[in-house]
Structure 1
Amino acid sequence: MSEGTADKFGMRSVFGVVFLFLMQAQAFEISKQSGKLILSGACEEGKSIYSSLARWSTNAKTGKTCDPVAVAGESGGSCNLDITDCVPEHVVKYHGARPEVDGPNCWNLSLVMSKILPAMRYSTPEEMNFYMRPPLCRALKDGEKKEPGDVGAIRQIAGFNKTEEYHGFIYIDEKIAYSKNGFSNMAPYELQTLDKVYRTYEVPDKPGCRQNVINSKSSQCGQAVAFYRCDSMDEYLEKNKNVPDQVRESFKNMDAAENCVQEALFKGDTLSVEARKNLRDTGLALVEYLQSAKSKPEVAKMKAEERDFLLGSLQLRLAALGDQLEFVAMERQDGEAFKASGELKYVAEMLQASAKQLKKGARK
């Protein structure tokens, strides 16, 4: 069952507090000790994982120093390896953590770790699907070597050439991944075995099911995985100089609002009246701008695909934030959150309509 389907029925999974890695009959534990992440287990397996995590840290441009040579001399039956400087700061802070309310999920984690979205919240399957394509992400070719930090997208085979988003995770190597298995506030952010991810989401260990692409070989899998390599949203905005200032400002305001939502979700606080107003005003200002955009020279300079991507991104983010506030409202029985959720979804629909009108006008 996909996260989207599970959301509809309010289903939850119960997750343990202890994080074990079952690899070839060897058990590994990731624990937090005095603010540090410690990998405990058989030395040879541990050093292999350490090396992959070091490459992830480099690929993610964390600025941390993590040299596998530092643990090369470790020997014996078991080792305790400090991996704090081998992982992005998100992992140090949130491994084992749970939000106070439902919402933050696997797709969001994949997009946050790829620096496409700024903050943790509920992400829709439409968001995941929207971003797992150019201009930000490209599909890995069949047989292409995967790198730590690539995104794994597990999809349900729903018919001939038809798939539905099912789960997303961060690939590190063939033994380990970073994932949040579900939207429930009982599901932690967790470094876990790749096999656990595949077993949880029922991806068969068969040809065509666990390769880089989903193709005709995947038709009998039920669920299969595809892999992507992504650029960040900041990199995209930096490369594309023709993005109008008003659109850039909308992204900055949206980022700030989402960071407020994240803080509330992990503290268990109610989103402030000011934060709700800022979210709504950001969307309405963009709608107003788009309604007169046809006469603006800076909009005319934008390529059609660039315009569609940026406006589509903002619309999906507003709609997903509306969904997240609905989770908060249901859990807290908060009438103001219900109201804010409805307002955001309405503004997202207005933004979508304005973008379609602008697109239609550009074709004349």
Structure 2
Amino acid sequence: SVYASEVRISYNPSNNLILSGKTCSSLITQHQAICNWQKLIDPSFVIPPIPETLCRRISDSNYSMTITSCLPSFVKANQHKKLYRSGANCWGTAMSFKKISTRPRFMWSNEISYWLNSPVCRKLNPGEEKKTGDLLNMYGPEYVFNKDEPNNKSNRFWEARFPGRFTPAAVEEGYTGYHHFLHTETFVTSDLTFGKDSPSKDDKFEFHEMGEVYGRPDAVECQENQSMTPYLRENQNPPRDIRNSKCSYFSLAYRCEAFPDYFARQTLSSSDQAILATVKSLQATQDKLFQLMTVLKHTLPRVEINVMLKQADHIAEKALEELSQQSMDQNHEMLLTLKYFTATGIRKSLELAALILPTEDL
């Protein structure tokens, strides 16, 4: 749409976000939405007035506005900054704003898919309006370039909890016959999203213009087409050729609540409360690893790395063992899943930062 290109993003030397557009009122609308996002993340935040005086007129039909007062604290501290090591990816970035972790980490596609289909999240209904803070999920044809790894951390989770769900690709390389979950961004306005394109250190945490979002189709009828469902390579679905269908690439909008809010509303058993306490201590460890990405030459003593790994690997294996026992209530399953991926995310962060050898494809 023409409107999609109306707002332009730039950053000044001190990494402040600058939006420019054809009217001052459109920039105030964007600024207001960013304030709403901050309030969603931190309900105690008081939204300041956004006067027209914040608009700078650049030319007859161009205005700019520097956004500083309403940025979520993580965004303010990290947007557009150079990264020194690989680590967090798009899914971990999007879900960190839902407080699955204190700051972004790497997240597997099966992991976020689990949460999207859990009571923490819901798919928006056809025709339902998107709101600031919603997730935009992009899907497209799946291509493989090397043999599948049944033993990667997320496939092991599926094998434990959902035996038979993991379905190896029928081809060694090329198109597999399924959709692939490509990417997730946080929706801010119809012009703006926030995210990180991949785990690579070359992809920064930053705002994106809607027209530039990775994997989002150009065809309006394929954008957030809530009546669509991805045809995924799981549960022994037979391959199909979806490459030439009208919306072979499409996006879906989801709304998730903050994880602590969800669990605070539940009546948790003492064993569930104990899992939550373990998760919090693992999150504190994971939080320490964030600086590996953001601080030049930051490293950790080998002894500390070994202690972290020993603890995290042990917790992950135990959680996987428990998840393979089939009958349990949903909250218990969700908490064990959270524990498993929070623990195994610690090893993954150290592997992506190249502090230890990889145990699965990076």
Give TM-score scaled by structure 1 length. 0.72
Q: Distance in 2 between matches of 1:161 and 1:144?
A: 30
5+ long unaligned stretches in structure 1: 1-21, 294-301, 346-364
Match 2:217 to one of 188, 191, 203: 203
Cross-structure match for 1:362: none
Match 2:10 to one of 30, 47, 50: 30
Q: CA deviation at 1:102?
A: 1.8
Residue 115 of structure 2 is aligned to residue 131 of structure 1: yes
Residue 117 of structure 2 is aligned to residue 87 of structure 1: no
Residue 119 of structure 2 is aligned to residue 143 of structure 1: no
Alignment deviations for residues 320-363 of structure 1 (CA, whole Å, 9 cap, x no partner): 3333322222xxxx5xx22xx65xx8xxxxxxxxxxxxxxxxxx
Alignment deviations for residues 152-172 of structure 1 (CA, whole Å, 9 cap, x no partner): 111225599954210010001
The answer (yes or no) to whether the contact 1:127–1:316 under 8 Å persists in 2 is yes
Q: CA deviation at 1:182?
A: 1.9
Q: Which has the higher contact order (CA 8 A, sep 6+)?
A: 2
Alignment deviations for residues 267-318 of structure 1 (CA, whole Å, 9 cap, x no partner): 242233325413532552576699899xxxxxxxx95211211112222233
Cross-structure match for 1:358: none
Q: CA deviation at 1:251?
A: 0.6
Q: CA deviation at 1:75?
A: 7.7
Cross-structure match for 2:182: 166
Are the structure 2 counterparts of residues 237 and 327 from structure 1 closer, same or farther at C-alpha, using a change threshold of 3 Å? same
User: Which structure is higher in helix share?
Assistant: 1
Give 1:83's aligned amino acid: I
5+ long unaligned stretches in structure 2: 143-174, 232-241
Deviates more, 1:240-249 or 1:131-140: 240-249
The answer (yes or no) to whether the contact 1:114–1:230 under 8 Å persists in 2 is yes
Residue 220 of structure 2 is aligned to residue 236 of structure 1: no
Alignment deviations for residues 2-28 of structure 1 (CA, whole Å, 9 cap, x no partner): xxxxxxxxxxxxxxxxxxxx9666563
Q: Distance in 1 between matches of 2:331 and 2:322?
A: 18
Cross-structure match for 1:327: 352
Alignment deviations for residues 20-64 of structure 1 (CA, whole Å, 9 cap, x no partner): xx9666563432465754434432332231222222222222544
Cross-structure match for 1:10: none
Which residues in structure 2 correspond to 1:209-248 (within 5 Å)? 209-215=223-229, 220-240=246-266, 241-242=268-269, 244=271, 245-248=273-276
The answer (yes or no) to whether the contact 1:250–1:286 under 8 Å persists in 2 is no
Which residues in structure 2 correspond to 1:199-348 (within 5 Å)? 200-201=214-215, 203-215=217-229, 220-240=246-266, 241-242=268-269, 244=271, 245-267=273-295, 268-272=297-301, 273-284=303-314, 304-329=329-354, 334=355, 337-338=356-357, 342=359
Percent of matched pairs sharing the same residue = 18
The answer (yes or no) to whether the contact 1:180–1:188 under 8 Å persists in 2 is yes
The answer (yes or no) to whether the contact 2:55–2:65 under 8 Å persists in 1 is no
Cross-structure match for 2:195: 179
SS in 2 for 1:53: helix
The answer (yes or no) to whether the contact 1:250–1:282 under 8 Å persists in 2 is no
Give 1:210's aligned amino acid: E
Are the structure 2 counterparts of residues 56 and 152 from structure 1 closer, same or farther at C-alpha, using a change threshold of 3 Å? same
Match 2:104 to one of 120, 141, 148: 120
Deviates more, 1:186-195 or 1:75-84: 75-84
SS in 2 for 1:226: strand
Cross-structure match for 2:88: 104
Q: CA deviation at 1:256?
A: 0.8
The answer (yes or no) to whether the contact 2:292–2:353 under 8 Å persists in 1 is no
The answer (yes or no) to whether the contact 1:56–1:172 under 8 Å persists in 2 is yes
Paired positions, count: 305
Are the structure 2 counterparts of residues 202 and 286 from structure 1 closer, same or farther at C-alpha, using a change threshold of 3 Å? closer
Are the structure 2 counterparts of residues 49 and 191 from structure 1 closer, same or farther at C-alpha, using a change threshold of 3 Å? same
Which residues in structure 2 correspond to 1:31-50 (within 5 Å)? 31-32=11-12, 36-42=16-22, 43-50=24-31
Give TM-score scaled by structure 2 length. 0.72
